């Protein structure tokens, strides 16, 4: 029997892998389908193939550049957004939005004591770097802290900040007074008097100033507090130290001579080099420096006498530079009361109620405290050195030499800067 192979085909069973390959595979395209059109010669087909290959390479390169440009644009957009946010922050920081958010009807104090708005008042704090900005909703008493050595600037005290704060409180219709919270050993004549005068100017607005002494309120710290109408002190306070240090003289000529060292300072004016370590102090120079101390002392005692309503003679009798305990200071008339900060605040509130003739008034105390933000390099240096005080890194010989040539003034003190 003859078999006709055209009538049927023998199908052998396929494996699962072959079935899968068959389903996924596509029919093979001819050269004409792949490169478009028909070609009379092999050379034409080769040129068409090369042209298509070049086109594919260009598309890949273009896609890559598109992705790269897309990433660059995204980075630029992010940078613009960050810059815009920084600008908004600076604008808001300087605007009234961050400084005040108060109701529409402030008190007039104390010209019309019958007016008041009463009620409880919310307080919020905002700190930005070295400055302090408050957001106060309603009448308040500013608890103004004076801490550390009184000088131009240090980690606890900043003269520029203090003066700006006092000026801002004076112009704020919602501020009803200041409670000075003093914890200072004193400081320089110039800054102490400048702060005192700023507080006296504040009082011209008719607002009261009280003071509360914490552990130490001596010399320049007491000087500033003389602007207060009433002074309270903690029972463990040390205060007083009413006196002046005008400077110090160290004559190192004998010491240098033994070492075989001759130091000369060229100067014009016979007293120009006074107080220098290589110039012995003359009697004339001694009298010059004493006159400076006496003049500042006269100013100091005059301010104390006026503030405490005593005679110059009464103050001079107790103003010999010594410090006093709270009980001694009260007995001498340098303070009014002894108690806690809460006691002082309660009495201050009573005074405000009396001034306004309204016992329903409730006024919050709002803190104004300088916050030091050290520069980045200072932070970096301290982290690397492990020293909280950079002077601790000095060797003993260097420290001894510095102390000899420029001895440190021991506080409490009310002194002139060199």
User: Which residues are known catalytic residues?
Assistant: 219, 272
CA distance 168 to 202: 10
DSSP code of residue 390? G
Q: Where are the beta strands (DSSP E) in 122-208?
A: 123-128, 131-136, 140-147, 175-184, 186-188
Would you state the structure tokens that stand for residue 171, as one six-digit string? Answer: 């112009």
Backbone dihedral angles phi then psi of residue 381, each to the nearest 5 degrees: -65, -40
CA distance 293 to 288: 9
CA distance 417 to 248: 11
DSSP code of residue 392? G
CA distance 227 to 199: 6
Residue 379's Cα: distance from chain center in Å?
A: 14
Q: What DSSP string runs through 214-257?
A: EEEEETHHHHHHTT-SEEEE-TT-EEE----B-------HHHHH
Query: Residue 185: which residues within 8 A CB-CB, separation 6 or more?
Result: 149, 216, 218, 219, 221, 411, 412, 413
């Amino acid at each position: 029997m003859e078999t006709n192979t055209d009538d049927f085909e023998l199908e052998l069973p396929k494996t699962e892998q072959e079935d899968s390959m068959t389903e996924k595979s596509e029919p093979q395209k001819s050269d004409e389908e792949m490169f478009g059109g028909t070609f009379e010669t092999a050379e034409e087909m080769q040129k068409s193939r090369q042209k298509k290959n070049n086109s594919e390479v260009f598309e890949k390169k273009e896609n890559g550049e598109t992705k790269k440009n897309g990433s660059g644009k995204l980075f630029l957009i992010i940078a613009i957004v960050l810059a815009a946010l920084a600008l908004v922050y600076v604008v808001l920081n300087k605007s009234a939005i961050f400084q005040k958010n108060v109701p529409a009807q402030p008190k007039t104090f104390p010209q019309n004591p019958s007016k008041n708005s009463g009620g409880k008042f919310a307080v919020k704090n905002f700190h930005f770097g070295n400055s302090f900005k408050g957001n106060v909703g309603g009448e308040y008493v500013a608890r103004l802290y004076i801490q550390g050595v009184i000088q131009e600037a240090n980690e606890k005290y900043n003269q520029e900040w203090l003066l700006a704060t006092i000026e801002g409180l004076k112009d704020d219709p919602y501020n009803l007074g200041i409670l000075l919270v003093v914890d200072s050993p004193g400081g320089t004549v110039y800054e102490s008097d400048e702060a005192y005068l700023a507080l006296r100017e504040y009082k011209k607005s008719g607002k009261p100033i009280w003071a509360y002494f914490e552990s130490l309120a001596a010399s320049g710290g007491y000087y500033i507090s003389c602007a207060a109408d009433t002074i309270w002190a903690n029972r463990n306070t040390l205060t007083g130290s009413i006196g002046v240090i005008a400077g110090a003289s160290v004559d190192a000529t004998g010491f240098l001579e033994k070492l075989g060292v001759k130091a000369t300072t060229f100067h014009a004016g016979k007293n120009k080099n006074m107080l220098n370590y290589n110039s012995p102090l003359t009697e004339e120079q001694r009298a010059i420096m004493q006159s400076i101390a006496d003049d500042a002392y006269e100013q100091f005692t005059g301010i104390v006498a006026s503030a405490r309503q005593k005679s110059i003679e009464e103050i001079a009798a107790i103003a010999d530079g010594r410090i006093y305990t709270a009980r001694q200071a009260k007995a001498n008339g340098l303070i009014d009361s002894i108690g806690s900060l809460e006691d002082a605040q309660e009495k201050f509130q009573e005074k405000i109620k009396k001034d306004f003739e309204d016992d329903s008034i409730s006024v919050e105390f709002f803190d104004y405290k300088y916050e030091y933000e050290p520069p980045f390099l200072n932070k970096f240096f301290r982290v690397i050195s492990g020293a909280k005080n950079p002077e601790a890194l000095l060797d003993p010989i260097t420290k001894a030499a510095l102390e000899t040539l420029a001895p440190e003034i021991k506080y409490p003190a009310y002194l002139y800067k060199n």
